[in-house]
C-alpha cells in the first residue's frame, strides 16, 4: 500500500511531499498490521498459527499492542501534515482498518472497511495537488473494487482457521467458492474503472487483459486447497498491475 500510494503521488506530480505521504501511509499500515496481530493473538494461538510471532511465543502481545498504538499516534500528525482533506481521508482509512480489526471482520459488513479504505487512496493523493481537487470518480471505484477483491480473496486460504476461531465475515458466510467468484468480479470492476479513468492505451489494455485472466483463473484456486492462499497474492498482483499501468500512462488522469 505504501509503494502504490507513493507511486501514484509521484506520477501525479507530487514530488518532495511524496516522501511525507510514504511515511504517513507506512505508519498507518504497520499500526493496522500490529493491532491485528495483538487483537487476534488468542485466536491465532487457538488455530496454532506458526506464521504469527505472538502465537508462536516469539513476541509478547503487550509489546505488539504498544507498538501499534505508538505507530497510530505518530501517524496522526504525519497525516495532518499532508493537508486537511488528505490527512482526514488518510486517517479515515486507517480508522476503518482498525474498526475491521476490532470487530467488523466478524460481521456481514466486513467488506466495507476494505472497499472504502482502498477507495480513499486516490482521494488522499489528489487532495495533495494544488487546489486540492477531487479525484476522478472512476479511480475511486477502481480503488474500492481492488479493496473488495482483496478482502474476499484473503479469506479463501484461511477458511479452516476462520471456521475454528468463529470468524464470520461476509466471505466466510458465503463460502470459499462464492468468494472466489465475487473477488474476480471486483477485479473486473476495477479494470473497467481504470480504463474509464486513464483511457484505452497500450499499457492499460495490456493490464486489463492480464487482470481479466487473473479474475478468470481465481475459481480454479478453490479446486486445489494448497493453492488457495495463492488467490490473495494473485489479486494483490492484479492490483499492482493496474496501478503500474495507471502510473506509467500518466498521473495527470488522477483528477478531473
Q: Which residues contact 192 (CB under 8 A, 6 or more apart)?
A: none
pLDDT in tens, 104-132: 998 999 999 999 999 999 999 999 999 99
What is the pLDDT at residue 111? Answer: 95
What is the pLDDT at residue 116? Answer: 96
pLDDT in tens, 181-235: 888 889 889 889 988 888 888 888 888 898 888 888 777 766 666 666 677 778 7
**Band of residue 236 on the pLDDT scale cut at 50, 70, 90:** confident
pLDDT in tens, 23-72: 999 999 999 999 999 999 988 888 788 888 998 899 999 999 999 999 99
With 0.85 as the threshold, say if the pTM is over it. yes
What is the pLDDT at residue 223? Answer: 67
Q: Which residues contact 245 (CB under 8 A, 6 or more apart)?
A: 194, 198, 203, 204, 206, 207
Read off the pLDDT of each residue in 61-85 and give the average, rounded to a whole number: 97
List of long-range contacts for 45-52, beta carbons under 8 Å, 24+ apart: 46/164, 46/165, 47/161, 47/164, 47/165, 49/161
Q: Which residues contact 134 (CB under 8 A, 6 or more apart)?
A: 123, 126, 127, 255, 256
More confident residue, 76 or 174: 76
**Band of residue 250 on the pLDDT scale cut at 50, 70, 90:** low
What is the pLDDT at residue 228? Answer: 63
What is the pLDDT at residue 15? Answer: 84
Hey, where are the domains in the chain?
2-253
The structural architecture, per CATH, of the domain 2-253 is Orthogonal Bundle (1.10)
Amino acid at each position: 500500500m505504501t509503494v502504490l500510494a507513493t507511486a501514484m503521488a509521484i506520477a501525479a506530480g507530487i514530488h518532495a511531499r511524496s516522501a511525507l505521504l510514504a511515511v504517513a501511509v507506512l505508519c498507518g499500515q504497520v499500526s493496522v498490521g500490529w493491532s491485528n496481530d495483538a487483537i487476534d493473538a488468542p485466536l491465532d494461538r487457538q488455530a496454532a498459527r506458526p506464521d504469527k510471532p505472538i502465537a508462536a511465543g516469539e513476541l509478547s502481545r503487550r509489546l505488539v499492542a504498544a507498538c501499534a498504538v505508538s505507530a497510530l499516534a505518530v501517524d496522526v500528525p504525519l497525516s495532518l501534515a499532508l493537508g486537511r482533506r488528505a490527512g482526514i481521508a488518510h486517517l479515515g482509512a486507517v480508522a476503518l482498518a482498525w474498526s475491521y480489526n476490532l470487530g467488523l471482520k466478524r460481521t456481514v459488513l466486513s467488506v466495507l472497511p476494505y472497499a472504502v479504505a482502498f477507495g480513499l487512496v486516490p482521494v488522499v493523493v489528489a487532495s495533495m495537488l494544488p487546489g486540492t481537487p477531487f479525484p476522478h470518480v472512476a479511480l475511486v471505484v477502481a480503488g474500492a473494487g481492488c479493496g473488495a477483491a482483496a478482502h474476499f480473496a484473503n479469506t479463501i486460504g484461511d477458511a479452516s482457521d476462520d471456521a475454528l476461531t468463529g470468524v464470520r465475515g461476509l466471505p466466510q458466510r458465503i463460502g470459499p467458492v462464492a468468494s472466489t467468484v465475487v473477488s474476480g468480479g471486483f477485479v473486473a470492476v476495477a479494470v473497467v474503472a481504470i480504463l474509464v479513468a486513464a483511457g484505452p492505451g497500450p499499457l492499460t489494455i495490456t493490464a486489463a487483459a492480464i487482470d481479466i485472466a487473473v479474475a478468470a483463473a481465481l475459481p480454479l484456486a478453490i479446486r486445489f486447497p494448497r493453492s488457495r492462499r495463492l488467490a490473495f497474492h494473485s489479486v494483490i498482483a492484479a492490483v499492482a498491475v493496474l496501478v503500474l499501468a495507471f502510473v506509467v500512462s500518466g498521473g495527470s488522469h488522477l483528477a478531473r
